[in-house]
């Protein structure tokens, strides 16, 4: 097993080059390397490896280091040593580095798109959108930190008058742990503000999708980020991830992933009461369709929300609630939209892994059995053993028990459709479900948009549209599915502490 040369991989940056490499029969899997203190560690530092599969073919794409405790400790110590100097740099200096990172990524965006598509399984057009947004993270925070002024005010009360000014102080070393569904996007959404606000970090991407994180390490090196400021290591959650978040030198944890891992992080960090935790928990979200909207447009928006990225989005609208008066009109339009735009191997990619394939299949088996006995309006139960990739057809289920499959976090290309009669009823159904951070409201009634939107326990609400997001809007997790506090000013508050300094006023 030969170590992958980052320079060689860096030059596989076009469709013909990447395809030629992947189709080469004698190729060995990529062997990724940890990136610590601006250097790639040799393979002798790793005794165990994790096979990472290419979802489209089911073949091993990469061998990912299962980083042991001593490597994790090394990375955290390096980040801790780099923190004092980096935290004292000017906002202008950090902004310039962020813009250099964005520029290098822009030059190599097709490379990132190709590898993101192959590593995660998403269609290339979807990968390109996510790479563009990943680049935008650095441009956004490069600008944000130059426009953020401290509050200064004069206090006059009992005793001496004081002039008080407030400023943000970097928290320290952050552990950054991200999910596999949008690998580069999620990684950069955390690294950009971490660097912007003067923190250092150790990032661990999902072991299922680590290739673009490996390539991004080279971006940091070429952007002349000071050694140790941001380190990227690889490994699993129970071993590498738990060791990372439990380190006493780690002052904060920024995480995106499943509820089970989020709970484990809270347990691992419980003794360290000082640690900042941002736990963004993925789930499924509701789409509400009222009778006054155009049904063709509603089907297009609902289908996009449910099946984009094969339903593997933190904001996937896989729970579709339709007003009973238009239910029979809407359902065939949704099926037709699915058949036109979400064919396997075209608009619809595979799911991420054999384990995730088995999980989704088990839910579909359950849906087809008593007492659930749901109706498969589209799709079917896939083969028990996947062949040539982890493909599950886009599936629409009706006649679903509201207390059964609808409450499951399927996180795949499966949508449930359920009728409702009143606003009160549908708001109750949405708020009673523990999954999801967002909601989509499809109505032409502006009053209803506001009225229903204000009653939903959702951090993101889209009315008449789907999944467009302002980077400054932030995440607040009103549903209490996690403790995510990211984006714009919320990211600033996550990665900094507020310090108020009082000086005599004359």
Residues involved in catalysis: 280, 314
What lies within 8 Å, CB to CB, of 15 at 6+ separation is 110, 114
CA-to-CA distance for 41 and 38, rounded, in angstroms? 10
What letter would DSSP give residue 372? T
| Angstrom distance (rounded) from CA 61 to CA 58 | 9
Q: How many CB atoms are located within 10 Å of the residue 428 CB?
A: 13
Q: What angle do CA 250, 174, 196 make, to 5 degrees?
A: 145
Instruction: Specify whether the backbone of 224 is left (phi greater than 0), alpha (psi in -120 to 50) or beta.
Output: left
Q: What letters, b where the CB count within 10 A reaches 16 and e where it falls short, cover 87-124?
A: bebebeebbebbebbbbbbeebbbbbbbbbbbbbbbbe
Show the tokens assigned to 300.
């297009």
- Collapse the DSSP code of 449 into the 3-class scheme (helix H, G, I; strand E, B; otherwise coil) and give the result: helix
Q: Are 423 and 448 in contact (CB under 8 A)?
A: yes
The tokens for 3 are 């170590």
Rounded Cα distance between 432 and 455, Å, is 12
Query: For residue 460, what are the β-bridge partners?
Result: 438
Closest by CA to 489, choosing from 478, 498, 481, is 498
Q: Token match 């407030």: residue?
A: 166
Report whether 232 contacts 34 (CB < 8 A): yes
SS3 63: strand
Structure tokens at 16: 């013909």
Measure CA of the first residue to CA of the last residue in the chain; give whole Å: 71
Sheet (strand 152-155) strand order: 152-155, 162-170, 496-504
The DSSP secondary structure of 192-252, one letter per residue, reads: HHHHHTT-EEEEE--TTS-HHHHHHHHHHHHTTPPTTSEEE----IIIIIHHHHH-TTEEE
């Amino acid at each position: 097993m030969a170590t992958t040369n980052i320079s060689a991989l860096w030059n596989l940056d076009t469709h013909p080059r990447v395809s030629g490499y992947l189709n080469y029969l004698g190729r060995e899997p990529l062997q990724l390397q940890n990136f610590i203190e601006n250097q790639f560690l040799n393979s002798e530092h790793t005794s165990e490896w994790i096979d990472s599969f290419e979802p489209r073919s089911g073949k091993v794409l990469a061998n990912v280091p299962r980083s042991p405790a001593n490597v994790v400790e090394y990375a955290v110590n390096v980040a801790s040593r780099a923190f004092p100097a980096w935290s004292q740099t000017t906002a202008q200096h950090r902004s310039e580095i962020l813009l250099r990172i964005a520029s290098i990524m822009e030059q190599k965006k097709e490379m990132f798109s190709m590898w993101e598509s192959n590593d995660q399984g998403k269609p290339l057009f979807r990968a390109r959108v996510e790479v563009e947004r990943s680049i935008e993270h650095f441009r956004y925070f490069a600008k944000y930190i130059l426009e953020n002024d401290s509050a200064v005010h004069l206090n006059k009360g009992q005793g001496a008058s004081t002039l008080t000014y407030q400023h943000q102080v970097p928290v320290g070393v952050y552990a950054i742990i991200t999910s596999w569904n949008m690998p580069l996007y999620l990684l950069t959404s955390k690294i950009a503000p971490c660097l912007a606000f003067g923190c250092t970090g150790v990032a661990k991407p999902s072991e299922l999708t680590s290739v673009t994180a490996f390539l991004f390490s080279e971006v940091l090196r070429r952007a002349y980020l000071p050694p140790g400021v941001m380190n990227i290591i690889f490994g699993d959650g129970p071993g590498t991830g738990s060791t990372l978040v439990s380190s006493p030198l780690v002052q904060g944890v920024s995480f995106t992933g499943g509820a089970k891992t989020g709970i484990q992080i809270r347990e691992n960090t419980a003794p360290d009461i000082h640690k900042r935790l941002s736990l963004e928990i993925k789930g499924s979200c509701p789409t509400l369709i009222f009778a006054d909207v155009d049904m063709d447009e509603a089907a297009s928006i609902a289908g996009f929300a449910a099946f984009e990225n094969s339903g593997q989005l933190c904001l996937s609208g896989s729970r579709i609630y339709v007003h009973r008066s238009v239910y029979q009109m809407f359902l065939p339009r949704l099926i037709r939209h699915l058949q036109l735009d979400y064919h396997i191997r075209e608009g619809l990619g595979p799911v991420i892994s054999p384990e995730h394939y088995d999980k989704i299949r088990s839910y579909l088996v359950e849906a087809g059995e008593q007492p659930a006995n749901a109706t498969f309006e589209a799709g079917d139960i896939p083969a028990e053993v996947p062949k040539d990739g982890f493909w599950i057809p886009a599936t629409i289920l009706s006649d679903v028990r509201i207390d059964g499959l609808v409450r499951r976090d399927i996180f795949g290309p499966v949508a449930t459709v359920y009728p409702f009669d009143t606003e009160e009823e549908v708001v109750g159904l949405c708020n009673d479900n523990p999954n999801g951070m967002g909601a989509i409201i499809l109505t032409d009634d502006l009053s209803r948009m506001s009225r229903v939107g204000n009653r939903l326990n959702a951090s993101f609400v889209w009315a008449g549209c789907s999944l467009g997001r302002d980077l400054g809007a932030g995440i607040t997790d009103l549903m209490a599915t996690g403790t995510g506090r990211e984006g714009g000013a919320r990211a600033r508050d996550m990665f900094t502490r507020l310090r108020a300094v009082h000086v005599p006023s004359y």
